[in-house]
């Protein structure tokens, strides 16, 4: 049977990274009212620095309307998206004129004509290239996005590109003492990441073998992403790690079982770093070896949680480390509203 192969990956970040301590000292601490718990949350988030298209030390967007934020998204997302897609095409040595589908994944901004049209036009994708926008699914959206473009490649025999572009800095909320808001403000950064998939194997490619999902609707209030008059507001329950612990092992082992593999066959773990406790729970439940999630922790430290783009940043870090090795398997795993878990099984060619 025909397969889809990930042959290119590109990333883009807005401006130089901002130190976590600067973000706290210069913006959030003065608005915290001396909240020592908020200080501890920022200090223990596992984030050392991150990128922001809208630097809170320069611009305070907390009072901006949703319309103002969306107009800024339209401005800031295009150069980031173009840079990430161009890098992914270059990495795959694939001309833009060969692309049959461009998919854009984002939960942080919308406009029409949108990022998909502008990137396709500016990079020279063919006029008959199909476009798809996946919106508001949250941090796990890269995985169903990857599955969708893989299905297109398999069914049509043409290359495809998936772009995740997230500008979380646009959604800073007014100070109100909500601990969930403090956590999200401590974690999130901005990034774009793109992958190129083709129908033919190549050295160093990752074959997309399978995708799995589990949604627990009984916990749908544990993680929310609500459109308000002041941007998008996150709702986050401290119960999320507990729910994740209940589902992650069964989902991952089920995905591996139906492909004739076991946990011991996995040579690389690209786990979405929703926060340090999330990574700890995954490592505990899957009984991973020490260091198995080093790439995830490094991305969290250097970039923060960049929503849907993050798991692709981790996959890029794994590839740079030579993982997974030839013929071995890799799992990409992410989580988000629903409460939803998504995983993709990949194999190095």
Beta bridge partners of 224: 235
- Helix (H) or strand (E) segment spanning residue 341: strand 340-348
Distance CA 225, CA 323 (A): 33
Beta bridge partners of 227: 232
Q: Please report, for residues 14, 205, 210, 255, 329, the alpha-carbon distance to residue 346 in angstroms, rounded to integers and kept in the order given.
A: 29, 10, 7, 11, 6
Q: Of 107, 139, 306, 330, which is the active-site residue?
A: 139
139 is catalytic: yes
Quote the tokens at residue 194.
């793109």
Distance CA 134, CA 164 (A): 9
Quote the tokens at residue 230.
């002041």
**Of 327, 316, 287, 345, nearest in space to 11 by CA:** 316
Quote the tokens at residue 188.
């999130």
Distance CA 261, CA 188 (A): 34
Distance CA 299, CA 303 (A): 5
Beta bridge partners of 134: 105
Distance CA 164, CA 74 (A): 14
Cis peptide before 325 (omega within 30 of 0): no
Distance CA 113, CA 9 (A): 25
Distance CA 31, CA 35 (A): 9
Residues with active-site annotation? 139
């Amino acid at each position: 049977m025909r397969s889809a192969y990930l042959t290119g990956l590109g990333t883009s970040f807005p401006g130089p990274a901002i130190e976590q301590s600067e973000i706290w000292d210069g913006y959030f601490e003065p608005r915290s009212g001396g909240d020592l718990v908020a200080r501890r949350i920022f200090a223990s988030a596992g984030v050392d620095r991150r990128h922001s298209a809208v630097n809170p030390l320069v611009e305070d967007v907390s009072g901006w309307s949703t319309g103002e934020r969306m107009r800024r998204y339209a401005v800031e997302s295009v150069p980031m998206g173009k840079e990430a897609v161009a890098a992914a095409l270059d990495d795959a040595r694939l001309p833009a004129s060969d692309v049959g589908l461009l998919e854009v994944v984002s939960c942080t901004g919308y406009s029409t004509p949108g990022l998909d049209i502008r990137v396709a036009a500016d990079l020279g994708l063919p006029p008959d290239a199909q476009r798809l926008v996946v919106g508001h699914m949250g941090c796990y959206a890269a995985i169903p996005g990857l599955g969708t473009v893989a299905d297109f490649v398999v069914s049509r025999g043409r290359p495809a590109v998936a772009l995740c572009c997230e500008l979380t800095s646009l959604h800073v909320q007014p100070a109100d003492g909500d601990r969930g808001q403090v956590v999200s403000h401590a974690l999130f950064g901005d990034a774009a990441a793109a992958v190129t998939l083709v129908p033919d194997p190549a050295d160093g490619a990752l074959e997309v073998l399978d995708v799995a999902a589990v949604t627990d609707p009984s916990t749908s209030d544990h993680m929310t992403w609500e459109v308000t008059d002041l941007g998008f507001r996150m709702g986050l329950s401290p119960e999320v790690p507990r729910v994740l612990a209940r589902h992650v092992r069964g989902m991952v082992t089920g995905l591996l079982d139906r492909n004739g593999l076991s946990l011991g066959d996995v040579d690389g773990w690209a786990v979405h770093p929703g926060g340090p406790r999330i990574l700890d729970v995954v490592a505990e439940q899957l009984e991973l070896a020490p260091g198995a999630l080093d790439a995830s922790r490094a991305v969290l430290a250097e970039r923060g949680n960049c929503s849907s783009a993050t798991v692709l940043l981790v996959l890029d870090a794994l590839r740079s480390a030579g993982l997974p090795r030839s013929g071995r398997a890799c799992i990409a795993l992410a989580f988000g509203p629903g409460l939803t878990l998504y995983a993709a099984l990949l194999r190095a060619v």
